[in-house]
Amino acid sequence: MSVLWDSLQSTTFRWAVVEAVLVGAIGGVVGVHVMLRRLPFFVVAMSHAMFPGVVLASVLGISLFLGGTTFGLVVVAGVAAIGASRVLDQSSAIGVVLAGAFAFGVLVLSAQPGSSRDLSAFLVGSIVTVTPGDVATTIIGGGLVLVVLAAVHKELVASAFDPAGSAALGYPVRRLDIVVLTAVTVTMATTIPATGTLLSVALLTVPALTARLWTNRVGPMMAVAAGVGAASGLLGLAASTLWRIAAGGAIGLAAGALFAVSLAITSLFATTAGVGVRRRVRQVA
């Protein structure tokens, strides 16, 4: 534990702690919408599709957040356009847009000096090197996402559970889909310094799935998911410091471990409750 205490004396490490909590909590909330709309495949695809934008931003010397977000929004527009044409369904459209994007990013990166080191940082992040600017970007970008999602919360939830009924009530279902896709894109861009483009998938899926084990109500689910995401960030960062392992991978594993523990506990409760019900039924009979 002395290692952790010594690390906390470093300003850089304290910024890493703040970033871990922020990206975990924001990812958890947005992840609930990902789960409700069954978009894990889109998240995985976007983690690859945003990679060229991050690489180009690095080459041009501009913000990784700006590059990743811009390229991600281009991908969202492409998916929406192909889906609107009804030539392909949404999953197929995502696959078409994704094809070649990751390879293009690797190609551009391979032409730069130190490409292997940069590739690792872009893919799995480097949270221990985050700057106050990265944290500010996370606060602004993530805060904007949360404000937008809160403003149309009722419409988003209704269209996720019953798209046809929502359309009949006059809700702009396709626009609401684009709002969620955009929210996912911006959120993923904010997590790049912490977990990279690939491991951001964990924060946008696993905390929400963990929260789903504990509650069926959307509001409490978001609160639990935010807590699980933040805890994943802290636990992963602590494990990374103690055992000198990659922070991004440790955060992803921490999220998976919390899911596994939650699954075991809730399954045990369900089994115990089922046994109690069966005993009461036999007593009545």
Angle at 181 between CA 57 and CA 36, to 5 degrees: 140
Residue scoring higher pLDDT (271 or 263):
263
Q: What is the pLDDT of residue 284?
A: 43
Dihedral over Cα of 37, 48, 230, 205: its sign: positive
Q: What is the pLDDT of residue 87?
A: 58
Q: Would the pLDDT of 31 be above 90?
A: yes
Highest mean pLDDT among 9-18, 48-57, 148-157, 192-201: 148-157
Distances (CA, A) of 114 to 118, 187, 188: 6, 27, 24
Label residue 128 by pLDDT band (50, 70, 90): confident
Please count the other Cβ atoms lying within 10 Å of the Cβ belonging to residue 187: 30
pLDDT, tens only, 143-158: 999 999 999 999 999 9
* Cα–Cα distance measured from residue 195 to residue 106, given in angstroms and rounded to the nearest whole number: 18
Longest C-alpha distance within the chain, in Å?
Answer: 77
**Cβ(263)–Cβ(209) below 8 Å:** no
* Cα–Cα distance measured from residue 237 to residue 185, given in angstroms and rounded to the nearest whole number: 24
Half-sphere exposure of 224 (CA within 13 A, CB side): 20
pLDDT, tens only, 44-68: 878 777 878 887 887 788 887 888 8
**Cβ(97)–Cβ(49) below 8 Å:** yes
Stretch 126-141: mean pLDDT = 88
Which are the contacts of 198, defined by CB distance < 8 A and separation ≥ 6? Answer: 47, 48, 123, 124
Q: Would the pLDDT of 5 be above 60?
A: yes
Q: Tokens 């292997």 map to which residue?
A: 116
Average pLDDT, the chain: 82
Question: Domains (ranges, CATH) in the chain?
Answer: 2-284 (1.10.3470.10)
pLDDT, tens only, 59-113: 788 887 888 888 888 877 776 676 666 655 666 666 666 666 666 776 776 666 6
Q: Would the pLDDT of 275 be above 70?
A: no
Q: What is the pLDDT of residue 3?
A: 73
Q: What is the pLDDT of residue 1?
A: 60
Range of weakest confidence among 30-34, 222-226, 278-282? 278-282
